[in-house]
Amino acid sequence: MQKNTDLTPRHEARMVQLVFPSDTNQYGVLFGGIAIAWMDQAAYVCAARWCRRKAVTAHIDAVDFRRSVPVGATVELIARLMSTGRTSMRMEVEMWAEVLDAEEGPYQVVRGEFVMVALGDDNRPTPVPPFPPQDHSSTTKSNSR
């Protein structure tokens, strides 16, 4: 079976949701709690994709809401692995909204950081693969003759 290299990389996950009336409050905009739940799901997919194990939410930090999302809009969630510990993974999750029948393009709605912990078969924390830092200096070839 041939690998598809065009897929999202293992250290990232993307999800798209449509905002239905049942997802909104009395003002017709997305509930904050539903936004956080969707962000948590994206963080889980990113974490599980990285460690290839079950993962659970250990901590949610610095969730900043910037704009509201009206009913009928689409939202894209982007979760990116930022760093790893021994058993934990820190994710940045962004939510972008787009009202398809409006002139304005996509806009950022909310951003937050999530810490996920990998679980082994015994449901206890288990080590995760380290996330390599992006060091571009190591890719530079030296010109030695």
On whether residue 46 sits in a domain, the answer given is: yes
The CATH number of residue 32's host domain is: 3.10.129.10
- Specify the number of domains making up the chain: 1
Helix (H) or strand (E) holding 33: helix 32-51
Residue-level pLDDT at 5: 57
Is the distance from CB of 112 to CB of 61 less than 8 angstroms? yes
* pTM, full prediction: 0.84
Q: Could you tell me where the beta strands, DSSP code E, fall in the chain?
A: 12-18, 54-65, 74-84, 88-98, 107-119
Residue-level pLDDT at 138: 46
On whether residue 3 sits in a domain, the answer given is: no
On whether residue 5 sits in a domain, the answer given is: no
On whether residue 18 sits in a domain, the answer given is: yes
d(CA 74, CA 70): 9
d(CA 79, CA 16): 12
Residue-level pLDDT at 17: 97
Show the low-confidence residues of the chain (pLDDT under 70).
1-8, 133-145
Q: Tokens representing 22?
A: 């049942």
Burial class of residue 127, CB neighbours in 10 A (0-12, 13-18, 19+): middle
Residue-level pLDDT at 7: 63
Interval 40-66: pLDDT, tens: 999 999 999 999 999 999 999 989 999
On whether residue 138 sits in a domain, the answer given is: no
The length of the chain, given as a count of residues: 145
